[in-house]
Each structure stands twice: as C-alpha cells, then as structure tokens.
Amino acid sequence: MLCCYKFTVIFRCGALVVLAMVVSTGVYASRFDHSHSLWSELLQTYVVDQGDFSQVKYQALKQSGTAPLVEYLQSLSAVHASQFALWTQSQQLAFLINAYNAFTVKLILDHYPVESIKDIGGFFRSPWKIQFFALLGDKTHLDYIEHELIRGRFKEPRIHFAVVCASIGCPKLQARAYTAERMEAMLESATQTFLRDDSRNRYDAQRNTLHLSKIFKWYAEDFVATSGSVERFVAPYISDDPKMRQQIQSRQVDVEYLDYDWALNNADI
C-alpha cells in the first residue's frame, strides 16, 4: 500500500507539473498582440496609399524617431518557437508577413538614404541575406522568413502580393497590418490590386499577349502548384471580362515578363 501511495503522489505531482507547464505556456502565448496594433499605427502614419501602389515616408519616419518600430520588432523577436507553434496557421502567417515587411522597413531606415534596396549589402552580399535581427530564437535574415518560414510552410501563392521588398515593382505595402481575422480578405485584395495595375500586369488583346510582373517568372512553381499554370492563377484576378479570362486560362496566349523596377518605394522624393 505504501508503494502504491507514493506512486500515486508522484504521478499526481507529475500531472500537476505538466498542467502548470501547459497553463503557463498558454498564458505566455496569449501575451502577443495578434492585432499587430503598433505596426498598424506606423503603417497608417507613414504609408501613402496611391491606390494600385503605395509609398513609404522613410525620411519622416527616421526623423520622428524609430522607437515605436523598434518596440514592435522587439515584440516579434521575443516570440519563442514553442509559443509560435501554439498559434493557428492564420496567426502564424500574419506574424510572418508583418515581420518580413517591418524588418524590411528597418533595413531601409538603417541605410537611408538609398535609392534601392539592392544598394544595401554590397556586390557579394544580398540585402536579403544580411542577418540583422532575431526571429523564433535564431539570428536570421529576410530570405529565411520568405523562403523557409512562409513558402516552406504555407502553400499559399498569394503571399507574393503581401510581402513587400520596398521597391516600386513590388506589390503595395498595405496601410494596415495583416491579421488572422482579415487574412483571406487581405490576401484576395492584395492579389487583385496588384494584377489590376496595368503598369505591372496587363493583357493586350490585340496582340494576344499577357504582360506580367517577373514575380510570376521567379515564383512560377508556387502558382503552378495550386492552379496548374501561371495563366490559370492570373485569369480570375486580372479582368472581370469572362471571355478574356477564358482566353487566358486556356493558355492560348503569349506571355512576356516586364522589367522589374527596383527603385525605392519612397514618398519623400
């Protein structure tokens, strides 16, 4: 009886320890602001929405002080991988998209004034490979967020219109943060906005030629994986005309990729 009693006490204690760990982890996970309110406030203040595209007031942000941005980035870096794993997929994706965009803005500010993000890093070092921040417990770079954490875990091609590389050729930086609750609507809106911008994507009916951003060339495998082809992915977004959509979906069109504009999406010029 004595042995059984001791075993029961040990088992109960162990269960209590496990329960305490679960409760503690749950409380810790709830501390993160999934509304990304601080980032949204910064975006609303410093992003100039021009409809099809947007620009960022980098100089104004730098002059006003980057403390709010740094505070938001620190909140991202404070998230542990174990905490991240407890979130829903939409919460995870919102976190990663916002992290990519916010750290990109920080990279620009650290080197501002620059004419292009490609001017950062030097000939032998890509700006997207510079390890200048920590995320989920590791010191890392922007490419890791995009290619390993986002593309590697989420089979969602619309993210290419949500992550923004601070260039005119990129999709617009939204004037509000991505959140789990608005994820589907924001991804749809971002995709359609980008594809309806005829400076970066358009269909020439007379020449039967589809002119697309090089994003569709660089990441063709992502669009093919979900839609079967780039053309089939593009068709529902690029036009409301059913005949035009059918023509593009049939893949009976020529595809040409437009030059990519790497100039900084700067509103202070």
Q: Which of 70, 108, 222 is nearest to 161 (CA)?
A: 222
Give, in degrees to the nearest 5, the angle at Cα 172 between 75 and 253: 135
Contact 132, 225 (CB under 8 A): no
pLDDT tens string 227-253: 999 999 999 999 999 999 999 999 889
Across the strands, what pairs with 266? 56
Q: Which of 220, 186, 166, 192 is nearest to 54 (CA)?
A: 166
Give me the phi and psi of 116, to 5 degrees please: -160, 150
pLDDT at 28 over 80: no
**Mean of pLDDT over the chain:** 90
- Rounded CA separation 87/109 (Å): 30
pLDDT-above-90 percentage for the chain: 85
pLDDT value of residue 268: 82
Contact 260, 213 (CB under 8 A): yes
pLDDT at 10 over 60: no
Indicate if the alpha-carbon torsion angle 76, 77, 81, 83 is positive or negative. negative
pLDDT confidence bin for 269, thresholds 50/70/90: low
H/E element, 150:
none
Torsion angle defined by CA atoms of residues 241, 244, 246 and 250, in that order, rounded to the nearest 10 degrees: -160
Contact 56, 173 (CB under 8 A): yes
Q: Domain residues of the chain, as ranges?
A: 33-197
Helices 230-238/242-249 angle, 10° precision: 170
Q: Which residue has the tokens 């990729």?
A: 257
Enumerate residues 6+ apart whose C-beta is below 8 A from 246.
Answer: 235
Contact 162, 187 (CB under 8 A): yes
pLDDT mean over 168-180: 97
pLDDT confidence bin for 210, thresholds 50/70/90: very high
pLDDT value of residue 123: 76
pLDDT tens string 40-52: 999 999 999 999 9
pLDDT value of residue 13: 40
Q: Which residue has the tokens 């020449």?
A: 207
Sheet holding 254-257, edge to edge: 202-204, 209-212, 254-257
Contact 156, 149 (CB under 8 A): no
pLDDT value of residue 30: 52
- Rounded CA separation 238/35 (Å): 30
Q: Which residue has the tokens 């595809």?
A: 255
0.85 exceeded by pTM: yes
